[in-house]
Amino acid sequence: MKLMVTVKRVVDYNVKVRVKDDQSGIETANVKMSMNPFCEIAVEEAIRFKEKGVATEVVVVSIGPAQCQETLRTALALGADRAILVKTDEEIQPLAVAKLLQKIAEKESPNAIIMGKQSIDGDNNQSGQMLAALLDWPQGTFASEVSIADGKATVTREVDGGLETIALDLPAIVTTDLRLNEPRFASLPNIMKAKRKPLDVLSTEDLGVDVTPRVKTLKVAPPATRQAGVKVESVQELVDKLKNEAKVI
Amino acid sequence: MPSNIALFSAIVGEQHVLTNKDDLENYGQDWSRLYTPAPSFILRPGTTAEVSKIMAVAYEHEIAVVPSGGRTGLSGGAVALNGEVVISLERMNQISSFNSVDRTVTCGAGVITQQLQEYALEQNLYYPVDFASAGSSHIGGNIATNAGGIKVLKYGLTRDWVVGLTLVTAKGEILKLNKGLVKNATGYDLRHLIIGSEGTLGIVTEAEMTLTDQPKNPTVMLLALESLSDVSNLLVHFQSAMDLLAFEFFSHQALQKVLTHRDVKKPFEHDANFYVLMEFESDGDEAMESALAAFEQAAENEWLVDGLISQSQQQAEELWVYREGISESISHYPPYKNDIAVKPSQVGDFLQQVDHFVNENYPDFENIWFGHIGDGNLHLNILKPENLGLEDFKQQCAKANPSIFTILQSFDGSISAEHGVGLVKKDYLSFSRSDIEIQLMKSIKRTFDPINILNPGKLFK
């Protein structure tokens, strides 16, 4: 069984994001970039299927600038078998992502595609669903548990108010939620081995996809800063403030 | 005592004099938790002028004082045992007058270490002194103990970041030492005498601290080692290949404690005897290539058996938990803590000798080793066996002290690398300092504090 996993290179989860002075976007120069946390979970899940003997090959795909090769090498070090980079310096929005992945999926014919439910930069939560629609495959989004057997994937989904378990006919799309697994650290010996694993680079033209953005960003602004708290000297003062300032009692 | 209180509350204001039982216990001791605190009362001055007035009164009436910061010390340096007046500097917690040209910032003694670290980041700069208690410890206390921590290998100790000090003397005079200068060759540098003096020479009320550039893309490697015999080779090897920020080690027993105490995953599939946590600047592909090549070479030389590398800032922090979580994970035993130092080149040999001694003489005791290999600072923690009473355990450990310190002395090591001497180590000072040295130190103390009212009973027997 072949699994395809997608990974995105984003601003590191622990970096405090700063908005550019001209409000055209966020500052990315000299900012630490890492694999999107939900994608890490997707990679981990695929590798576990390989370790269990369910999957025989894990192909990892990324879309973005040349530096995404680092992100792919990380996935290879974690245990993926080969990598594909769709190299582009353009802004790629969810629909374009889905179309590019559709072309690759048609070429690779994986039995399942595991993706992060969303990336922490765009927070769109769209690519997986759009890809499922374009391929006309079933989808199991927000997965907190996945098992694969007899041509079916059983996916436990984190939905509002609880869990929902569904069965999908393969091939299918699964998108990962936070509780699915805990990704491992990359081992240094495996990083060495990963250098020799194949990494193919394609362009958007190779795949014949028009990636022109459909949504225009007008302005990016930081959230309003919170006012500092104050210490009150007495209960009377607190009650007074709640009544007359905050007007909550 | 009440008449005394009146003298002081006229200076700081009644609301800043604390006398209730909980406050006396809380402000009267540090984290050593070995002594019963018994201060008379607590003063919380808000300015250098107030501290000066307090000392003038204390001097006139021969009242002993204990300066108090975040009280995270482990040597009893901030403990008030005999009815001293505790002067807490916690209200003096303002950071002011940042100068971008000098890259200096003025801190009240009560500024919390982490507060300064965060302030520096806001200025796109870096305050590099860092340790597990940075969220509670005060800059004043860091200065009093010359605090070190986990980044000493690259950035040195607190001493290296102090460019000016405001000091209140025993008589209440206010001194401005070094005044922020980089170069100043005008005789004895009293600033450096004050740093590490544990509140026995004067009270630091304000400090000018210097800041530096932020490290570029700090990346963490965790290495698994079968033994520490090749650890100095490893240090030299990696130091030549990359820009190291930290080079720490811990034993497998230490890791086990963290894994039991915290909800973290096992780092390696196969256990090893020792682990080295190494942080380095990885600015660009070349630095990373060099680091990876160095790892490959070390593996070929069989100096290590496995390794991990952080792929994100998040993972770097997760890896640090294995090292920084140790103290907390063993605190409930409680451990007999020893903070000692030898030259980095001798860490392996020294550790072997002490380990041998403890195993031979105290076979029921569990040893937890961790520390900063890069600067030769080792933390030996012996855990209290469950079936042994606390007093018995303390007694047995006290018996072990002279033997361990004799080994240390043969290595020309230090009985206190970064925790200070305080009350805990004062009986053993002679293992690291000669008699003449101690006599000179005592005469310095008398010069600064002729009637012995500044943190009396600490440092010397």
For residue B222, the chain A residues in CB contact (below 8 A) are: 185
Please count the residues of chain B: 461
pLDDT per residue rounded down to tens, chain B (461 residues) = 456 899 999 999 999 999 999 999 999 999 887 889 999 999 999 999 999 999 999 999 999 999 999 999 989 999 999 999 999 999 999 998 899 999 999 999 999 999 999 999 999 999 999 988 899 999 999 999 999 988 999 999 999 999 999 999 999 999 999 999 999 999 999 999 999 999 999 999 999 999 999 998 899 999 999 988 888 889 999 999 999 999 999 999 999 999 999 888 999 989 999 999 999 998 888 888 999 999 999 999 999 999 999 999 889 999 999 998 998 898 888 788 889 999 988 988 898 898 889 888 888 888 889 999 888 999 988 888 888 888 888 888 888 889 999 999 999 999 999 999 999 899 999 999 999 999 999 999 999 999 999 999 999 98
As for how many domains chain A has, the answer is 1
SS3 track for B184-218: CCCCCCHHHHHCCCCCCCCEEEEEEEECECCCCCE
Kindly list the residues from chain B whose CB atom is less than 8 angstroms away from the CB atom of residue A15. 313
What tokens appear for B450 in the block? 């002729």
Range of the domain at A225: 2-244
The CATH code of the domain that includes A32 is: 3.40.50.620
Those residues whose C-beta lies under 8 Å from the C-beta of residue B382, and which sit 6 or more positions away, are: B335, B336, B338, B358, B362, B365, B366, B367, B368, B397, B400
Residue A249 lies in a domain: no
Kindly report, residue by residue over A101-145, the tens digit of the pLDDT. 999 999 999 999 999 999 999 999 999 999 999 999 999 999 999
Confirm whether A187 is domain-assigned. Answer: yes
In a domain, A142, yes or no: yes
In chain B the domains, ranked by start, together with CATH numbers, are 2-89 (3.30.43.10), 95-210 (3.30.465.10), 218-327 (3.30.70.2190), 333-419 (3.30.70.2740)
Pairing of strands A139-149, A172-176: parallel
Task: Examine residue A171 and state whether it is found in any structural domain, yes or no.
Answer: yes
Note whether B195 and B244 are within 8 A (CB): no
Whether residue A21 is contained in a domain is answered as yes
Domain presence at residue A98: yes
Interface test with A, best of B268, B285, B310, B311 (most A CBs within 10 A): B311
- The reply to whether A181 falls in a domain is yes
Cβ–Cβ of B306/A188 closer than 8 Å? yes
Pairwise CB contact (< 8 Å): A186 & B317: no
pTM of the entire structure? 0.84
Q: Which residues of B touch A34 (CB under 8 A)?
A: 311-314
Place of tokens 């033209």: A205
Contact predicate A155/A163, CB 8 Å: no
Closest-CA residue of chain A to B121: A16
pLDDT at residue A224, rounded to an integer: 86
Across chain A, mean pLDDT equals: 94
Contact between residue B55 and residue B444 where contact means Cβ atoms under 8 Å apart: no
**Nearest by CB to A192, which of B265, B292, B314?**
B292
Chain A residues lying within 8 Å of B306, measured CB to CB = 187-189
